[in-house]
Amino acid sequence: MSNTANNVENTKTQTFFNGYFTQPIQISETIYQQVYNFFLAKMKDASAAGSLTQAVLTLTYNNNLNPLDVIADFGKAADSSDLKQLLIAFFNATKGSTSKLGYQVNQNTSAFAKRNIVA
């Protein structure tokens, strides 16, 4: 086996596992501060604000969304309960097809299995 074949295999492996390991995300300091300050004002807790900021910025980066637009939508929440519902909807809508939250892809049941299910 030559070095070229080895390099091609390493590239394929790295590409496959990119979703499983931390990849650096480049976000400007001003955008980070705007998102962080929004959550800090809503949550009153620096740790919670930091965690939510990181999660929102990661998901907006991975889904090619503008984080300031997402925060503007979150700002329309009437109260903290509405904000929580918006955050849950955002996290569920932007997760990968498989994640710790479950599967996003619809599971199709075969016709053979369906006929054995008694309603």
Q: Over the stretch 6-38, which tens digit does the pLDDT of each residue have?
A: 555 566 666 666 656 666 788 899 999 999 999
Diameter of the chain by CA atoms?
Answer: 63
In-domain check, residue 33: yes
Full domain range(s) for residue 91: 29-95
pTM: 0.63
50 pLDDT higher than 60: yes
**Total domains, the chain:** 1
Task: Report if residue 51 sits inside a domain.
Answer: yes
- For residue 14, list its beta bridge partners: none
Is position 114 within any domain?
no
- Angstrom distances, CA of residue 65 to CA of 49, 50, 75, 81, 118: 20, 19, 16, 24, 45
For residues 16 and 13, give the distance between their C-alpha atoms in angstroms, rounded to a whole number: 5
* Residue 61 located in a structural domain: yes
* Helix H or strand E encompassing 99: strand 98-99
Looking at the domain assignment, is residue 50 inside a domain? yes
